[in-house]
Chains A and B, each alone.
Chain A
Amino acid sequence: MKKRIFEKLLLILLLIIFGQQEVLASETLINGFVSQGYIKTDNNNMYTNSENGSFEFSETGIRFSTQLPDRLRIGMQLFARDLGDLGNNEITIDWAFADYLFTNELGVRAGILKIPHGLYNEIRDTDMLRASIFLPMGLYNEAWRDTFVSLKGIGIYGDLLNHCSYKFQVGIPSVSPESGMAKSFSSFTNSKVTDTNPESYYTASIQLYDIVEGLKLGFAGGKFNFAMNFIINENSAISLPGTNTGHIDGDGYVWTTSAEYIYNNITFSTEYGRFVFDLPITIDLQDTDKLQLFRSVNMETYYVNLSYRMTEWFEAGIYYSVTYNDKDDKKGKEYIHKFLGKRYSAWAKDVCISARFDINSNWVLKMETHINDGTNSIFNADNMNDAGELNLNRRWTAYIVKVSYNF
């Protein structure tokens, strides 16, 4: 609730600022995009009811930016998406900040800031900037987007020594009961998150560019804390007689190393990432006793990607992405004792083949197929049968089409 009030006040303030005559006269830039997609899977539901084919896949974004006197810049991007029951077209502030540039080496931003995570997190919603529809889902988990896309806080940034850019930020992450992070927890434990308390998020990124022409190297990391209260479902593995509530204090860090090389119309990129969460769970028993459980996520993910723009209107791409929920349990032998799921829920291996058609400077059509082994990238909650049993298949294929208009 606090998060929504902060965002609404910030939105009102920015709209007032942008509505001022002086600001309009100083050339406010407005850009945006609208997209609609369709997902069909042969087995398993991917975020949506995709086994039957689903159009519940749309995104809208609009961006405002203006340069005020004395090196102050303000901007914001509003975003709404519908991906199954994620987003549901609720308008959110993707980012909104004031930016003051002291020197080329030092600038300051405050507000809702995009989190630097890997090469593409800050532009993950703008798929007109890449060949594929979905980014490799281990590193850029669509389910966790609302937590990892931005934080409310302050940061510094700059360019150093002609080949290095940096960002440091501190703030509060977005973890709400409706978030993908909460849904993931609910999905693993068969419970329902009732409220959340996001606490802190520290991030840092460094990129080295043009040491070799066309080459970009990056390192990014972040540490965060959050808390959740939940209600345990009756058939949950952590349900006990007489109890149905619990609490979790999440503590975790993420880091990525990245490389991108662009040569003429060929782009090659590869990234490696780790997500490490400690999840001490407290379950309320009768008579004020409590039961302590401990779960951890020690995720490892990596991918290689190649795309080639063959003509001004056609680009093809292919990537291979691998994710393990626990890098020390790649075969899932321990996974089935800790989390709700099948053994092959411990990994996700994905071969994605994409085709992008630039119809003109505004319209883009994309088609892609994902050939999957493992189900770590999808929600258990979307794959329960009428009897409440998990209904998953290890190997499955997704076919996705998306049309975007950008302005």
Chain B
Amino acid sequence: MPRKGHIKRFIILFGLFGIFITNSLFFIAQAADDIILITHVDTPVDKLNTADIKRLFEGKIRMWKNGDLVVLVQLKDDIIQESFLKKYIRKSPSQFQNYWKNKMFQGETHNFPRRFHNKTQLINFIKKTKGAIGYIPSETIPEGVKIIKVD
């Protein structure tokens, strides 16, 4: 029969763990809410639903309606990437990477999502690349790109 002291310690530890998990989930959820989708100004789309975003980032939509090829970009930020993937793609980062390696080695694609170290590089790439689409934290609203509204 466990002693009362052990039970108390267990409850405290469990409570702390629960708070930690809740905060982490909250943090991820908050991070997802603070992400915006941006694209080249000539991309013929102003809004996307979550199913379209999933199809885009899984390479199932390869071309925009104006004939420009879809060029996917991401930030090399683990927290931002993880929250975006969980919210819209429903994959973990390793599952997402495996999914694209799968497509690559099948010869299905050249269009592996490009990754940039910071949002300035990412924004500059989107500005000069027709068909490019990516996501960044929403704290700064960039100029020279189109912001996609998510339904």
Contacts and interface: CB of A to CB of B under 8 A. Distances in A.
Interface stretch (A62-70, A286-294, A334-342, A344-352): A62-70
A101 interface: yes
B92 A265 contact: yes
Contacts of A360: none
A71 B69 contact: yes
Given A262-B95, A265-B92, A312-B94, A71 B63 contact: yes
Nearest to B92: A265
Contact of A126 (B90, B95, B105): B105
A129 B102 contact: yes
B90 A65 contact: no
B1 interface: no
A122 interface: yes
Interface in B92-130: 92, 94-95, 98, 101-102, 104-107, 109-112
Contacts of B94: 309, 312
Contact of A31 (B51, B60, B98, B105): B105
B131 to A, nearest CB: 11
A162 B51 contact: yes
B14 to A, nearest CB: 22
Interface residues of A, number: 36
A95 B110 CA distance: 14
A128 interface: yes
A29 B112 contact: yes
A63 B104 contact: yes
Nearest to B108: A122
Interface majority SS (helix, strand, loop, mixed), chain A: strand
B151 to A, nearest CB: 15
A104 B61 contact: yes
Contact of B101 (A71, A129, A262, A265): A129
A103 interface: yes
Given A101-B63, A104-B61, A114 B106 contact: yes
A131 to B, nearest CB: 11
Given A123-B102, A265-B92, A97 B62 contact: no
Assign chain B's interface to a size class: 20 to 34
A101 B104 CA distance: 16
A406 B76 CA distance: 20
Nearest to A267: B95
A97 B112 CA distance: 18
A122 B63 contact: no
Contacts of A125: 105
B102 to A, nearest CB: 5
Contacts of B112: 29
Contacts of B110: 29, 65-67, 73, 75
Contacts of B105: 31, 61, 63, 77, 122-123, 125-126, 129
A75 B101 CA distance: 15
Nearest to A28: B110
B128 to A, nearest CB: 14
A104 B63 contact: yes
A213 B90 contact: yes
B102 A159 contact: no
B55 interface: yes
Interface in A74-127: 75, 77, 95, 97, 99, 101, 103-104, 107, 114, 122-123, 125-126
Nearest to A75: B107
Contacts of B69: 67, 71, 101
Contacts of A61: 105
Interface in A190-221: 210, 213-214
B107 A95 contact: yes
B87 to A, nearest CB: 13
A129 B107 contact: no
A261 to B, nearest CB: 13
Given A129-B102, A262-B95, A77 B107 contact: yes
A162 B50 CA distance: 13
Contact of B63 (A77, A103, A165, A214): A103
Nearest 3 interchain pairs by C-beta = A122-B106, A126-B105, A65-B110
Interface of A: 29, 31, 61, 63, 65-67, 71, 73, 75, 77, 95, 97, 99, 101, 103-104, 107, 114, 122-123, 125-126, 128-129, 159, 162, 165, 210, 213-214, 262, 264-265, 309, 312
5 contacts: A31-B104, A61-B105, A77-B107, A101-B62, A262-B95
